[in-house]
Amino acid sequence: MDAGIQNQLDDFIRRMGLRRTGQREIILKAAFSHKEHFTAEDLLGRVRIIQAAISRATVYRTLALMVEAGLLREIDLGDEQTTYDPNFLDKPSHNHLVCIDCGRVVEFEDAHIDLLNDCVTRRLGFKPLRQTLKIEANCEQLRLNGRCPNLIATRLSGKRLRKKR
Amino acid sequence: MDAGIQNQLDDFIRRMGLRRTGQREIILKAAFSHKEHFTAEDLLGRVRIIQAAISRATVYRTLALMVEAGLLREIDLGDEQTTYDPNFLDKPSHNHLVCIDCGRVVEFEDAHIDLLNDCVTRRLGFKPLRQTLKIEANCEQLRLNGRCPNLIATRLSGKRLRKKR
DNA sequence: ATGTCTGCAAAGATTTTGCAGCTGA
DNA sequence: TCAGCTGCAAAATCTTTGCAGACAT
């Protein structure tokens, strides 16, 4: 994990008159230990591997704190779960493409998209702050070759495709 | 409500081997009686005005049915509520702009955005199916004039700004 | 006739909260 | 010191589900 992230949270904590605690440090580390998106429960799982004694409530509270501090963003991948994305620090305006076939999520940036959305927003009389673009698409490889390499990987990993319930 | 919507649901029902019921008809009417977005609870409220005897469970089940049939789409306006948008039949690829100041939601279409996203998606090796774009922005009028006409309207209507809890 | 629907209430899943004791500044 | 933090369990939300009777085809 980038040390700068720790500093950013510390800054936020200081600015808001909050406290640095061991729990917050561990939860932060857990949240940024991977590039993958995660749910609250995922994060609790990671945290419990590092140190078992942290409560679910604290994880939820720290999650809200990290979102508030701008370190994390909630994203909607369409699978009915509240998902957190730790990659907005590195790529502040990235977008998501979700493969309908395998559930794989591709993150991508595109300056043209950003620019165009900016123009459209201004034309509507607003000053753009942030945009959220999700593209759902089919895997072209699956259509051409009859199989999607990611589909197999996804199944092996036991990850859910779409709907949870 | 457009009579075509009724037909579209009926077609779907027939195709899936389901049944036409009075409840479904009423719930459909309620859902498409306005252009506004709504939550499950909003819809139940509307339905209860028409006929009190319909249960919450049936509303939830019919909501899922209408989404399945492609009549309605779930959208995420960032207010932590599952919101349904009845306007995708009229404007199949419209986007949402949410005013951070007043919470107003502006729907807009833009062929350039659609085209560009299509290109980007193909370049990534996928065949685009649907896109979801939400732009959060500040009201330019508020910045320039010190007040946002919609802010007042929003407050008067008692609508929640962002966060529910 | 019979497979689908509905209403009800109970169950589920996820997230929040009240409170007492603990801890960082 | 003392306001903020934590853990726990209970509460709160929102949504789904099992079941028995009703209904559409």
pLDDT, tens digit, 9 for 90 and up, residues A76-117: 998 889 999 999 999 999 999 999 888 889 999 999 999 999
Angle, alpha carbons A72-A75-A76 (nearest 5°): 165
Nearest to A116 among B99, B106, B112 (CB): B112
Q: Chain A: nearest CA to B127, how far in angstroms? A: 5
pLDDT above 60 (res A155): no
Nearest to B131 among A130, A133, A140 (CB): A133
- CA→C1' distance for A123 and D15 (Å): 40
- The gap from C-alpha A27 to its chain's centroid, in whole angstroms, comes to 15
Mean pLDDT value of segment A129-153: 81
Answer left, alpha or beta for residue B125, where phi above 0 means left and psi between -120 and 50 means alpha.
Answer: left
- For residue B43, the model assigns a pLDDT of 98
CB distance A77 to A83 below 8 Å: yes
CA distance A121 to B32: 28
B57 touches strand D (CB under 7 A): yes
- In B, which residues are within 8 Å of A124 by CB distance? 97, 106, 108
| pLDDT tens string A10-20 | 999 999 999 99
- For residue A84, the model assigns a pLDDT of 98
- For residue B162, the model assigns a pLDDT of 43
pLDDT above 90 (res A152): no
At residue B160 the predicted structure's pLDDT band, cuts being 50, 70 and 90, is very low
Which chain A residue has its CA at the smallest distance from B125's CA?
A140
Q: What string of DSSP letters covers B107-118?
A: EE--HHHHHHHH
pTM of the model: 0.90
Amino acid occupying residue A72: L
- For residue B157, the model assigns a pLDDT of 53
Query: Which is nearest to A9 in space by CA: A72, A96, A94?
Result: A72
3-state DSSP assignment of residue A43:
helix
CA distance B5 to B89: 9
pLDDT above 80 (res A29): yes
Q: Domain boundaries in chain B?
A: 3-83, 91-157
At residue A162 the predicted structure's pLDDT band, cuts being 50, 70 and 90, is very low
- Which one is the CATH code of B3-83: 3.30.470.20, 1.10.10.10, 3.40.50.1820, 3.10.20.600? 1.10.10.10
- In A, which residues are within 8 Å of B127 by CB distance? 137-140, 143
B77 touches strand D (CB under 7 A): no
CA distance A134 to B117: 10
| pLDDT tens string B62-119 | 999 999 999 999 999 988 899 999 999 999 999 999 998 888 899 999 999 999 999 9
CB distance B36 to B120 below 8 Å: no
Residues contacting A118, CB < 8 A, separation 6+: A128
Identify the sign of the CA torsion A103, A107, A111, A114. Answer: positive
- In B, which residues are within 8 Å of A133 by CB distance? 117, 131-134
- Which one is the CATH code of A91-157: 3.40.50.300, 3.40.640.10, 3.30.1490.190, 3.90.550.10? 3.30.1490.190
Chain D: positions less than 7 Å from a protein CB are 3-9, 14-18, 23-25
Mean pLDDT value of segment A50-69: 95
By C-alpha to C1' distance, D15 is nearest to B60
